[in-house]
Structure 1
């Protein structure tokens, strides 16, 4: 018979293990129609080449999850630019700790890397402009193979007044990472490890660095599908996790709201023209998202109290996202639905037997 101390230790390990995973529930118990989820997954499977995983959360519980073989639940996946949303969260935490302000000039942090005669636009560039991709650049700064990415960024022409011209710019995110490292003495990966990753139960995140030893920031983070889902649920809960406020609610609200317009005509229905926050895209249907190349999505749907995660290797991201609006939103209901064992079994069968399709060959011209 185990001693009380050994039993307590076993229970503690069990508790920690359980706490590391999101709770599961049947779709109907959370007001979600299993048959509609199945139709959504099957349509994505047929029309998108190729998905790697999908996970749907409602009211904080996973109601559907699947991986296209050879992908699997325990495999990490590259996030590409979805990494940016994690970097901006690091900025928000550093702001909350009084390490910097989003209204600080960028040059304040890099006196030794600044050009001898910085332009007025460069002098006016603030951390806020890095966050909103409105640095004033006409083209994205290069990443020199020999390093000195910060110096290359600061020496790149800034023809527009910062805050007035949107240009998607991964090096602007890298500069956020460099600033966090400058003011905290830690890489963004290490800084987030104790403040975000460990509290969420995200184990062994992998994130590369530049030749200068600075976390890439704009891309390169590798975590599991469920880890992305935890991040999305944290956003939905305004930064609160298991009774702890990991990220200030005010920062989440600010970061995930529209800060700048990126549609000159202001009439587009395309999800990439709905505006931009602090490294988060605005969506149609009152949603927002972090996303990355090839179809990495963390979609937060506040009005549905839902989160949708997808990873993929797909070059038609708008089509992939549009199917969420067209096929999945109808699954969400305000109240629990009667349990439907037949539909649930059919959904489970579909989710357990997904196989990645080979990417279609390019068309001959």
Structure 2
């Protein structure tokens, strides 16, 4: 299989954010209300929503809401899959967006978690490993930083300062450091590793670097192929630092259908076409609470997955309203994408509004 060549475009995301390149257009923003799934030959089986247990009247209300209500004005797509079938998909701005690669922002971290699972399954990565012992040459002289473990990095508790805007720009554009790992590890020590939760894009970069070393790679391309090749995903872009590392915390662009495929892969306990790509045990570990809501100030957190205990679900979340939401007990996957950065006074989709939307979808099951 020939994969699309990855692009090393350091700074694309930052530039997009700064220039607000995805501002709302003039005129009617949403033009496509149809949500019947299409057979595109990409491997997705399609079905009517009713045949997969949905009350179609209630599902109509879901799509009416996302189409009509201003709080969802930046929504670009909403896809629902159940029992292995794509039962609905709507590309609100244009039906041609079915082939558009969306910037999934922080949902990238959840994909990084799956890559970490491959390394864990092969014995190349262990949660208790001390990071300093693996890559001491990237650290500065502050000995306080030397106790952080892979578990701390996977749970956003590395104890280093990280300003999401300023330091993310640094990671993309700071030419003082040829290594993105150095950009992260030279940030000031602020708390003992494991004691404080700081959501950031730096910790996942450490995981990418550790996996690069564990697999003996000059770049992380081959690692990404270990996940995406078996799933038949060949049309995506994952931005890289100049050091060859893909950005572990953001920078992955994929079609909404392909993001839904990853959700279905998780529902299938890491199996795809008869191959165990990621172990069921890793998926269980990664989607089990490691950080309590009291520490995150939001939902519970696993290994780069947020956990919705009330609905027995877990999800990847990205700035502006990017979601991959998985409900194993209902055999349900929900994908929502939105403009990650907008102007005209709009801030993107609020988390509470997406959770309300997901709740309506679950309530539509008869």
Give the TM-score range, shorter chain: 0.7 to 0.9
**Number of residue-to-residue matches in the alignment:** 307
Q: Residue 189 and residue 205 in structure 1: after superposition, are their counterparts in 2 closer, same or farther (change >3 A)?
A: farther
Cross-structure match for 2:351: 318
Does residue 145 of structure 1 match 2:177? no
TM-score by length of 2: 0.79
- In the other structure, the counterpart of 2:139 is 114
How far did residue 138 of structure 1 move? 4.3
Question: Which residue of 2 is the match for residue 294 of structure 1?
Answer: 320
| Residue of 255, 259, 264 corresponding to 1:233 | 264
- Are 2:151 and 1:134 equivalent residues in the alignment? no
**Equivalent residue of 1:206, what SS?**
strand
Matched, 1:192 2:224: yes
Name structure 2 gaps, 5 residues minimum.
1-39, 340-346
Provide the rounded CA distance (Å) in 2 between the counterparts of 1:217 and 1:59. 30
Residues in 1 aligned to 2:154 and 2:352: alpha-carbon distance in whole angstroms: 27
Checking the alignment, whether the CA contact within 8 Å between 1:80 and 1:220 is kept in structure 2 is yes
Query: What do residues 235-258 of structure 1 show as CA deviations (whole Å, max 9, x unaligned)?
Result: 122211232211010000111111
**What is the rounded CA distance, in whole Å, between the counterparts of 1:134 and 1:202 in structure 2?**
32
- 1:202 positional shift: 1.1
CA RMSD of aligned residues (A): 2.0
Q: Which has the larger radius of gyration?
A: 1
What does the per-residue CA deviation read over 1:304-357, in whole Å, with 9 as the maximum and x for residues that have no partner? 110100111262332431332442221113xxxxxxxxxxxxxxxxxxxxxxxx
Distance 1:260 1:249, change over 3 A: same
Q: 1:84, 1:219 within 8 Å by CA — same for their partners in 2?
A: yes
Q: Which runs of 4+ in 1 moved over 6 A?
A: none
Q: Which aligned pairs between 1:216-227 and structure 2 lie closer than 5 A?
A: 216-227=247-258
Cα drift, residue 126 of structure 1: 0.5
Q: Please tell me whether the aligned partners of residues 338 and 349 of structure 2 are also in contact (alpha carbons under 8 angstroms).
A: no
* Unmatched segments (≥5 aa) in structure 1: 1-16, 267-271, 334-365
Q: CA deviation at 1:28?
A: 1.1
Distance 2:111 2:219 in 1: 13
The whole-number CA distance in structure 1 between the counterparts of 2:286 and 2:279 is 11
Indicate the residue corresponding to 1:358 in structure 2: none
- Alpha-carbon separation, structure 2, partners of 1:50 and 1:307: 21
